[in-house]
Amino acid sequence: MANSAQARKRARQAIATRDSNASLKSALRTSIKKVKKAIAAGDKEAAMKQYQESQATIDRIADKKIVHKNTAARTKSRLSQAIKVMAV
């Protein structure tokens, strides 16, 4: 347990930050799943629309350093490639 007032405050802040980060990561995973679901359904138009929405979410979370920027770029690239190879 933290002994100084500063350490107690940092412990409280760490809990709040962890909760916030967990929520953002969950939103990231959800947006990726929505795109994958649209791809699996075979609807290219819906997949593209969902990809555009999730792209903003992925970038926003990468900017906050919740996930590494290369991880975000790789994820967007893979989703984009999956949409490109879909039958029209």
DSSP 22-78: HHHHHHHHHHHHHHHHHHHHT-HHHHHHHHHHHHHHHHHHHHTTSS-HHHHHHHHHH
Phi, psi angles (nearest 5°) of residue 4? -90, 160
* Rounded CA separation 47/40 (Å): 9
What are the tens digits of pLDDT across the range 31-85?
999 999 999 999 999 999 999 999 999 999 999 999 999 999 999 999 999 999 9
pLDDT value, residue 14: 97
As given in the structure block, the two tokens for residue 72 are: 């975000």
CATH code, 5-84: 1.20.58.110
